Structure 1
């Protein structure tokens, strides 16, 4: 028998394992090359795993819900272009009737919505969801479209309603009669593991500066309309901050590194790939990446920032959109926060948090003496990995970002 073992592909530099969401085929099914055989989930994005060869599925190594390391064998197929022999069909068995009845129920259910993809329909069929169930699912996709995550989250919540108290490891004394137990969705569970592992891996140190960003703010205010007219791109503060960060990384390239698995070697990255931490409508967080940011001008940065943020918020990111980051920026000012102490996005070694911009009284020195005026300020906080970045390097790097923002050239052209 000529067989082929299928392995979990690498979905990003920091991804060491995935959670098997579900198989899209059954043992004994025939599958074509590049046809999806399984869905997996990481802390960053959900992905489909295609078959690398055509053949007949003869074994699954893991169960749905299991965690699988990258590179591990999860399925085995017998190679060949098989076709079912229609001439040998037997009378319909009780099992086949059951399947037919299920499919009929599904078809009746999915008629309640015109925005269900084949993948979503397959999940609905397998889980025997009714029209009532589907109507209770709130779609997070474009135009309210129901995504596979929406369906899976609904199924998980529905299942946990009856089992949460029986299987809970929370002691009875830790919650009251009116308290609600909320199960984490799969993405939140994986984010939790990723953040915990980051703190366990890297000794975090956080430094702070408070730059005067008056000119930074003023230049954007004076040019945002012309910028959008010329490039059809919205000019937010984010691409301007990315520009300052990239320039600072060029000055201090040892910030743009990672540590190998043996913790004995430093990997110095040639390209500067900036991750932009983005909040999703479901309150989870994802970090899409601007590739080769060191090669982009302000127009290119604005275009890329707008594109990846839009894709993230509409659940359209691909695995390539979230892999390869070398430095991350998290804008906590979006939520009105003054500052934050961000957790490093492994395997990177530093992350910048930007706070809200606020007017404050400031003392300025003039030839006529000191004067008090209103200026724009914001906090920058840099968390860095003390294994490879000492306080001096982390401090001067953060100050350099601050300097570029404070000294933003009011004559900057675009």
Structure 2
């Protein structure tokens, strides 16, 4: 019996799927849970396994077709139906056909001769079974076989003798491989009709024996040497060639439409789906690679532009600023109990939002919108919820400031300086971006006022701007914590949609929080980091843009 395999439910909100590739062909045997095909939806790319074991009898849905959940995809049976049994006699038929090419009259002449040898004609099918043994055929009727070739040679051009019409196509097939072969396959049917009238009983089995022999070349032509160049030979390699090319560049209609709407060149994308196929998420995050490349440019360009420093092999005294930094770092490490917690954050939505608004942001504010204002905003909001991370120690007292004054680490030729953004939690993205750009520029130009370097309650350091994945920054007293942001990179990540797991290319970043364990516990640090993570992964910054 045969059973249909339907497109299963792929999630609560998924109503249809597109068949992207068939992994099995008609006639293949499959086991339970063996993948049959690949299906793509707007949320996930997945393989559909076989719920039963058996032989594939029919494929009901073509590749690239979009069907609803519950639609029959394929018919699987026990091998007793469909195209499988037809192959069996076809496989046996070419065996006698091969010797028939060498001695066409030997096997068929007895069946087409006068009624006298009707008894052997009726036994012809039995003689055809051992036909591959060439000596057996001439051993039975050597006298009848000798004239048969001559009769065929004479009858083939004349085509006047009705009894020799049936053998004639056998000789015409090898001599004319293209048009005559199908013509000969059609002619024997009426030619055998008068033969059946003359001798109904013997001719019936002969016609039955010839019918599969005539059908066999149509099905098994590639196996036989005669018809191989005519039909099946080019068709067989053509099928896998088309399948390979379609799989390599397959894009679902939904993805193609989305890419067209966003103006994205699909050939420039690297797919994250099965076999490298481009998925919806790849198109949505297509704007991030340029951002990542921009961030990574200094790191990737550095090896090509490495120059030997003039300081090599010299000794120079520490600058006053370097001495201060060194002393503060040592005192901080000796006085406080520091450790670091790290989380990985998916900032794909932030990257998409940034790509969408950065041109307008630049036009209206005159500032480039980097990732740092997003990190600063998320950190400021989390500090309001978990003020212990923003607190300071005064002897035996914990002081909770009324504001979130975030110090921004700035790399200068003189050393690391940390100008302060006052009341950072009251600012939006435009305000934070303006403050960061202004403080960084004036810090590098040595134009800061003394009070702009004091009063910070929490520090944000962006080591990712130089290509670092993450680090374990040092907390500088009297602060109790510092957040390090690594480079934003694209990587394959396992995501879950409606309970189904899939691999997608996502923009991610590592956030490392170093803290003073004297007042900040690991649980406090984790709660703070998760709050920042959730804020960034939510990606809802439309109301905080400030333009």
- What is the TM-score when the length of structure 1 is the normalising length? 0.55
Q: Report the alpha carbon displacement of residue 410 of structure 1 after superposing the two structures with TM.
A: 6.0
Q: Report the alpha carbon displacement of residue 368 of structure 1 after superposing the two structures with TM.
A: 7.8
Give the secondary structure class of the aligned counterpart of 2:345: coil
Pairing of 1:18-97 with structure 2 (within 5 A): none
From 360, 365, 383, the equivalent of 1:226 is 360
Gaps of 5+ in 2: 1-311
Pairing of 1:124-143 with structure 2 (within 5 A): none
CA distance in structure 1 between the aligned counterparts of 2:455 and 2:407, rounded to whole angstroms: 9
Give the secondary structure class of the aligned counterpart of 2:487: coil
Pick closer, same or farther for the CA change 1:367–1:398 going to 2, 3 Å: closer
Greater relative CO, 1 or 2 (CA 8 Å, sep 6+): 1
From 415, 438, 441, the equivalent of 1:310 is 441
Pairing of 1:237-276 with structure 2 (within 5 A): 237-260=371-394, 262=395, 264-276=396-408
| Aligned twin of 1:187 | 321
Q: Is 1:398 matched with 2:522?
A: no
Pairing of 1:137-152 with structure 2 (within 5 A): none
Q: Report the alpha carbon displacement of residue 334 of structure 1 after superposing the two structures with TM.
A: 1.1
Pick closer, same or farther for the CA change 1:218–1:361 going to 2, 3 Å: same
| Aligned twin of 1:65 | none
Q: Is 1:365 matched with 2:496?
A: yes
| Aligned twin of 1:30 | none
Q: Report the alpha carbon displacement of residue 401 of structure 1 after superposing the two structures with TM.
A: 0.9
Give the secondary structure class of the aligned counterpart of 1:380: strand
CA distance in structure 2 between the aligned counterparts of 1:184 and 1:305, rounded to whole angstroms: 28
| 1:261-285 deviation per Cα after TM superposition (whole angstroms, max 9, x unaligned) | x2x1011100110000000034x10
Q: Report the alpha carbon displacement of residue 294 of structure 1 after superposing the two structures with TM.
A: 1.8
| Aligned twin of 1:293 | 424
Q: 1:215, 1:410 within 8 Å by CA — same for their partners in 2?
A: no
Q: Report the alpha carbon displacement of residue 295 of structure 1 after superposing the two structures with TM.
A: 1.7
Give the secondary structure class of the aligned counterpart of 1:211: strand
Equivalent pairs counted in the alignment come to 235
CA distance in structure 1 between the aligned counterparts of 2:316 and 2:405, rounded to whole angstroms: 36
CA distance in structure 2 between the aligned counterparts of 1:259 and 1:403, rounded to whole angstroms: 29
Pick closer, same or farther for the CA change 1:410–1:299 going to 2, 3 Å: closer
| Aligned twin of 1:57 | none
| Aligned twin of 2:539 | 408
Q: Is 1:330 matched with 2:461?
A: yes
Q: Report the alpha carbon displacement of residue 232 of structure 1 after superposing the two structures with TM.
A: 2.2
Pick closer, same or farther for the CA change 1:321–1:374 going to 2, 3 Å: same
Pairing of 1:154-173 with structure 2 (within 5 A): none
Structural RMSD (CA) = 1.7
Give the secondary structure class of the aligned counterpart of 2:430: helix
CA distance in structure 1 between the aligned counterparts of 2:504 and 2:319, rounded to whole angstroms: 49
Gaps of 5+ in 1: 1-177
Q: Report the alpha carbon displacement of residue 239 of structure 1 after superposing the two structures with TM.
A: 1.4
| Aligned twin of 2:483 | 352
| Aligned twin of 1:374 | 505
Q: Report the alpha carbon displacement of residue 235 of structure 1 after superposing the two structures with TM.
A: 1.6
Give the secondary structure class of the aligned counterpart of 1:198: helix
CA distance in structure 1 between the aligned counterparts of 2:442 and 2:401, rounded to whole angstroms: 26
Q: Report the alpha carbon displacement of residue 210 of structure 1 after superposing the two structures with TM.
A: 0.3
